[in-house]
Amino acid sequence: MTFSQGEKFIQLKNIVKILFLISVLIIGIQVSSAAEITTYKWGTGGDVTKNKLIKKNIPDSKIATEVVKAAKKGTPVIKFGGGEGPTTLIVSGVHGGELASQVASLKLINKLSKLEKEKRIKGTIYVIPFVAPKSTASNLRLFNGKNLNKLAHKEGTPTNNIIKFAQEKNINAVADFHCTKPGGVPGKNIILGTVYPMMGSAEMAIAISNLTGHPYKNENFAGKSYPGALEDNLNLNNITAITCEVKTPHGKLAKGSVTASYNQMIAFLKYNKNI
């Protein structure tokens, strides 16, 4: 069987079309499986590399570089996954001078980027490594002179914006990561939750305590002892949330504190079946 020149040209044209469609499909798959970085311009932006300890501990990776760059303009949010499964949120840097949890978040982002490429993430994971990069850059606990973990119920504050973000994205569970100074409150590695109105918070605190070996403490009522805390106000808005603390002086990185915070993050994601 032989083909005319015209028939050969049509066949070649069809082959080119098929190859083009395949290449588009492959590109689409690559884009859909890549982490997404969104910057929320809440007046929080800052160059976190001005903080010497943060700069020293930024992972040498493309995604870490992009996150740090995004933080100059506002609060960066990194999204991983997007398939069927739970939707969770990890937050650090509510207090800019609490460094271990922020460094741990960068380390986690690196890990999740690799898991994403291996298609080992279930559901969706959002990570906010720096709530207020401006404060992190200056190694300051407060943001514009105010404690963001006492203002989550106040309209327009970064922590209140995080609650709205969690509502918009239908987040199932949130973990807010902090550092506690020696001699402070709580002054030790610990997982904190509340019983009412979200029993899931208390259950999650106990489970992550078991996974990490860190003790837990559950308050009876969200918003009673810490009325403006991010965790409490998430629970009051029917979003299951906990707080995870690691012991280290503010503005410094005690030995083992980054690893302790990172392990808490991994435990949170394992408990929620994201990884």
Please identify, in words, the CATH class of the domain defined by 36-271. alpha beta
Residue 5 pLDDT more than 70? no
Label residue 26 exposed, middle or buried (CB < 10 Å: 0-12, 13-18, 19+).
exposed
Strands 240-247 and 190-196 come out as antiparallel
pLDDT tens per residue, range 136-153: 999 999 999 999 999 999
Encoded amino acid at 267, one letter: A
- The DSSP line for 68-116 is HHHHTTSEEEEEEE-SSS-EEEEEE-SSTT-HHHHHHHHHHHHHHHHHH
Q: Across all residues in the chain, what is the average pLDDT? A: 91
Q: Which of 79, 82, 102, 83 is nearest to 92 (CA)?
A: 102
Provide the percentage of residues in the chain whose pLDDT is more than 90.
88
Provide the percentage of residues in the chain whose pLDDT is more than 70.
88
pTM greater than 0.85: yes
Q: What is the pLDDT of residue 62?
A: 97
Q: Which of 129, 103, 64, 50 is nearest to 256 (CA)?
A: 103
